[in-house]
Structure 1
């Protein structure tokens, strides 16, 4: 029987340098680098609609929306991770030249068959450890349904579901709303 080889661990500095110079995006989990697959046209349309809605509602306000090209650093007790959420809103961001953010107020992931399990377990658990996160939003691609984790004043999270094109996600901490009709604009079910 042969032993499994341990992957060579990559330092955070080497990962960030490679991401800045590279053509493809990779997520980083405690020294292990994973290539990201491209998304479908539907996934991209939903992500673009989300970003467009956030940009329109946050214009002139202090919070800044970011698309999936901005990395999110998550500092866990035992490791550092970098993910590329589909969208996020940062109210206390890093300087313009930063390669990542680490204090998002809102994180949005559009689910897909290939990422669903990781999004709803590994990423969810990591994102919910970030002290600045007020809303974690998972968007279903094939039906007008969104799952929202909302931080309560006690610090824990409550989960809610918004269903149907008439539903609206309230985001009072960033003074915005996300109507599902806009998130799914130009898409059919």
Structure 2
């Protein structure tokens, strides 16, 4: 049996496909990978944390974006859609684009069973090449757990694990604290998890 040749796409081809697509896709070094849909809890968590951040930074130069704003990571030739992205100051865009940001300060991913290993591994390794990124957060949608990573240096990150509703996720770069109770508001826990 012959191995199927892997198709690689240019950036222009990727953007043309994205404009017509029913679902969003990531672009990784020429490969296009369809992104999975989200659950209600996933959506609730992303909305809750984004809303709390936006309320807290009102009047400042920071703004959060949920899921539909694309991120470009030049060092990894990688386009993706973080669940929540916070930009402070004017957004910087990929060359020739006004829909693709390059300067997030905070990135947040809500973990699903199909993406948890990727979000913790290869995606985080791509994210940490962004010079602007100060904090990366992984929020578990199946249990009360938030992993907060804070950049200490170019290659060093500090991890803080939060597991109680009355604990606060403190974003130092944007001077915002959000209680886990707020993050998990309206989340419906599945029995047996």
TM-score by length of 2: 0.89
Specify the SS of the correspondent of 2:129: coil
1:31 is displaced (CA, Å) by 0.6
CA RMSD of aligned residues (A): 1.7
Stretches of structure 2 that go unaligned for 5 or more consecutive residues are none
CA offsets per residue over residues 80-131 of structure 1, 9 Å max, x none?
1011111010114136x71211110000000011111111111111111111
1:19 is displaced (CA, Å) by 1.6
Residue 165 (structure 2) pairs with residue 165 (structure 1): yes
Deviates most, 152-161 or 27-36 = 152-161
1:176 is displaced (CA, Å) by 1.1
Q: 2-side partners of 1:134 and 1:153: how far apart?
A: 9
Deviates most, 113-122 or 10-19 = 10-19
CA offsets per residue over residues 127-164 of structure 1, 9 Å max, x none?
11111111000001122210011012576211111111
Counterpart in the other structure of 2:150: 150
Residue 50 (structure 2) pairs with residue 55 (structure 1): no
Counterpart in the other structure of 2:103: 103
Q: 2-side partners of 1:21 and 1:5: how far apart?
A: 25
Q: 2-side partners of 1:17 and 1:174: how far apart?
A: 35
Residue 92 (structure 2) pairs with residue 94 (structure 1): yes
1:49 is displaced (CA, Å) by 0.8
Stretches of structure 1 that go unaligned for 5 or more consecutive residues are none
Counterpart in the other structure of 1:81: 78
Specify the SS of the correspondent of 2:173: helix
Find runs of 4+ consecutive structure 1 residues off by over 4 angstroms: none
Matches for 1:7-22 after TM superposition, within 5 Å: 7-22=6-21
CA contact (8 A) 1:167 1:180 kept: yes
TM-score by length of 1: 0.91
Q: 1-side partners of 2:129 and 2:79: how far apart?
A: 14
